[in-house]
Amino acid sequence: MKTKNEWRQDREYMAIVGDLLAQPAVQKLADYTQHHHSNRLQHSIAVSYDSYRIAKRLHLDYRSTARAGLLHDLFYYDWRTTKFDLGTHAFIHPRVALRNAEKITPLNKKEKDIILKHMFGATMATPRYPESLIVSLVDDFEAEHEFFSPLRAKLRRKIKKRRMRTIW
């Protein structure tokens, strides 16, 4: 995203996901830390909006991409501390997210695939659609961006401070 709230000004995007954003089940994601420096709702919106923009530019199904991107991490536990007997978080949470998403909205085949396959690379679940691959890649990018952004900002401030000292 260019700016943190750019998605709010995009009328078409809001028309596509507005009903989902109004759902208490989606709003509840704000209560969970995602990648140390963001909450799960912020992360999900970033993945959704950036994926939507890419899919739209490529003339793909940007509606399904936006909606499934928003729902891809619809689970309510701290993934750093919660452990499962049936497998890793990377394997389990897409299924949990799909089950939760199906409780709040009807999903088409593509949306289901996007949610289930968004951990491609960490799992062997191969995306069936280009839109699924887009969300998976954008999810990885956003995770890295969210985790390292504060470190990058701190580094920039240090570099700027050093430059200022050398000028004087």
Instruction: Encode pLDDT of 33-70 as tens digits.
Output: 765 667 899 999 999 999 999 999 999 999 999 999 99
Per-residue CA distances from 88 to 20, 72, 73, 83, 95 (Å):
27, 16, 15, 7, 12
d(CA 137, CA 79): 20
Q: pTM of the entire structure?
A: 0.81
The pLDDT of residue 125: 82
The pLDDT-based confidence of 5 (bands split at 50, 70, 90) is: confident
Residue 110 and residue 62 in contact, taking contact as beta carbons nearer than 8 Å: no
Burial 104-140 (b: 16+ CB within 10 A, else e): eeebeebbbbbbbbbbbeebebebebebbbbbbbbbb
Q: How many residues does the chain have?
A: 168
pLDDT at 134 over 60: yes
Q: Is the pLDDT at 18 greater than 80, yes or no?
A: yes
Q: Is pLDDT larger for residue 147 or for residue 76?
A: 76
- 116 vs 83: CA distance, rounded Å: 19
Which one is predicted more confidently, 128 or 93?
128
152 pLDDT tier (thresholds 50, 70, 90): low
Identify whether the C-beta of residue 47 lies closer than 8 Å to the C-beta of residue 115: no
> Does residue 146 carry a pLDDT above 90?
no
pLDDT of residue 102: 98
Rounded to the nearest integer, the mean pLDDT of the chain is 85
Q: What is the largest CA-CA distance in the chain?
A: 63
In this prediction, residue 149 has a pLDDT band, given cuts at 50, 70 and 90, of low
Mean pLDDT across 23-34: 91
CATH fold, domain 6-167, is: Hypothetical protein af1432 (1.10.3210)
SS3 26: helix
**Per-residue model confidence (pLDDT) at position 77:** 77
